[in-house]
Amino acid sequence: MSSEKFIKNKTVLVTLISACAIVIVSLGIRQTFGMFYFDFSTDLGITLSQFGFALGLQMLLWGVFGPWFGVITDKYGGHIAVSIGFVFYLAGILLLYSQYNTGLYFVTAIGVLIGVALGATAISIPVSVVAKHFPQSNRTLAMGIVTASGSFGYFISPIFVRYSLVENGWENTLLIFAAFIVIGLILAFFLTTPKNVVGGKINDNQTAIEALKEAFDNKSFIYLTLGFFVCGWHITLVATHIPVYISDRGLPEWCTVTILSMIGLFNIFGTLTSGYLAQKFSKKIILSIIYFARGLVIAIFIFLPPSPIIAIFFGMAFGFLWLSTVPPTMGLVGFIFGTKYIGLLYGIVFLSHQVGSFFGAYLGGVFHDLYGSYDYAWYISIALSVFAGLIHLPIIEKQVPRLQTA
């Protein structure tokens, strides 16, 4: 092996490992905010609607700033984008920890600052950087590995946070979060973006504006964007409100931790499976199946009599489907449009995801405060599953003419 090839392979490996560690930190922390609600309610006087709004705003800003961080990534490198994001993340956690942690300050900390931070540190930017290193033949599998790493964060963080909340209290738990974020900030500088993008026409003169026009003129991009709205609604409704829903159903508190941990554990298998299958089969069919399956799992969870066994089943099944949408979704973006502007284009798709996340988090709290239950939120979730399952079917899995003539 030549020294140049060795260095290239080493760089790819370091980038892949760094991306995995970054999403473990970012998503692991973000996944557990719902577990803080009872402490925030008691100590800070935060209502469920206020909490839902703050987390909904977090999701929305995550999506709004995703494309901007995508532009920074495509132009200056992922290490710049992610390091900026972790600075915002640290500021949000420290403000949440401070004495100025009620009212507007609470929303600013957990909603605005952390929302902006997630636009750079969570799935989209690390995955888009990794995607630039791999050819079409194994790109979706590489993206599945990064996404599965975030799932490991989902798995381990609820267990740790439950222990830390009991032993250390919520304030000290936030300080531990701050330490992990500093580690993530250091890892960001190992996230290398290749000078020559793999896949597609490298030295074309397409601008970012032209890339956006090309995407929005393509109906498949619109369908993909609309479908990802549903993914955001689903996962944020569950992540934000499952602790209260479990309490409402009279189930023991350990069911909450178990559901969140099972989601993380089985999402590892789900994302790796979808990443592998997306290399072999139609990506749009895989996405359609995932969304139909989500609706079925939710229906079983809410219509059967509540029991710990059903709760565990829900965590396992929904976990398998949790982020399994990411590899085929980003895989479609990269395949249809190439990877030169994948950070920007996936950022647009992800913005739709986060708009759905906002409504899932916020309206879940509103419905509960108005009607005393989450029934309407769950019914909408099932209807959206059917919509997403259908909207992916018209997608045409074909490269744009620009790439076909490259």
Return the pLDDT at 204: 61
Return the pLDDT at 115: 93
The more confidently predicted of residues 277 and 63 is 277
Average pLDDT for residues 324-343, to the nearest whole number?
84
- Categorize the per-residue pLDDT at 202 as very low, low, confident or very high, splitting at 50, 70 and 90: very low
Question: Do residues 111 and 65 touch, judged by C-beta distance below 8 A?
Answer: no
Average pLDDT for residues 184-189, to the nearest whole number?
92
Give percent of the chain with pLDDT exceeding 90: 35
Question: What domain count does the chain have?
Answer: 1
Return the pLDDT at 59: 81
Return the pLDDT at 195: 62
Residue 4 counted as domain residue: no
Question: Residue 90 pLDDT > 70, yes or no?
Answer: yes
Q: What is the average pLDDT value for the chain, to the nearest integer? A: 86
Give the closest residue to 109 by CA, choosing from 185, 187, 33. 33
Average pLDDT for residues 294-303, to the nearest whole number?
95
* Angle, helices 3-31/169-187, rounded to nearest 10 degrees: 160
Average pLDDT for residues 286-300, to the nearest whole number?
96
At 122, give phi and psi (nearest 5°).
-85, -150
Return the pLDDT at 9: 77
Residue 199 counted as domain residue: no
Residue 351 counted as domain residue: yes
Question: Residue 199 pLDDT > 70, yes or no?
Answer: no
Highest mean pLDDT among 40-54, 69-83, 331-345, 379-393: 379-393
At 135, give phi and psi (nearest 5°).
-75, 170
d(CA 322, CA 231): 8
Average pLDDT for residues 272-292, to the nearest whole number?
91
Torsion of CA 358, 363, 364, 367, to 10 degrees: 180
Residue 299 counted as domain residue: yes
CATH label of the domain that carries residue 244: 1.20.1250.20
Highest mean pLDDT among 64-73, 97-106, 383-392: 383-392
Return the pLDDT at 6: 45
Question: Residue 294 pLDDT > 80, yes or no?
Answer: yes
Average pLDDT for residues 313-338, to the nearest whole number?
89
Torsion of CA 94, 95, 97, 103, to 10 degrees: -160
What string of H, E and C letters represents the secondary structure of 104-147?
HHHHHHHHHHHHHHHHHHCCHHHHHHHHHHCCCCCHHHHHHHHH
The more confidently predicted of residues 115 and 59 is 115
Return the pLDDT at 4: 53
Return the pLDDT at 226: 94
Give percent of the chain with pLDDT exceeding 70: 94
Could you tell me the two tokens for 64? Answer: 């709004």
- Categorize the per-residue pLDDT at 93 as very low, low, confident or very high, splitting at 50, 70 and 90: very high
Residue 336 counted as domain residue: yes
Residue 143 counted as domain residue: yes
Residue 2 counted as domain residue: no
Residue 201 counted as domain residue: no
Cβ-Cβ contacts under 8 Å for 388 (sequence gap 6 or more): 226, 227, 229, 230, 231, 287, 288, 291
Question: Residue 256 pLDDT > 90, yes or no?
Answer: no
Instruction: For the chain, state the CA radius of gyration.
Output: 20
Q: 278 lies in which domain range?
A: 9-193+206-404
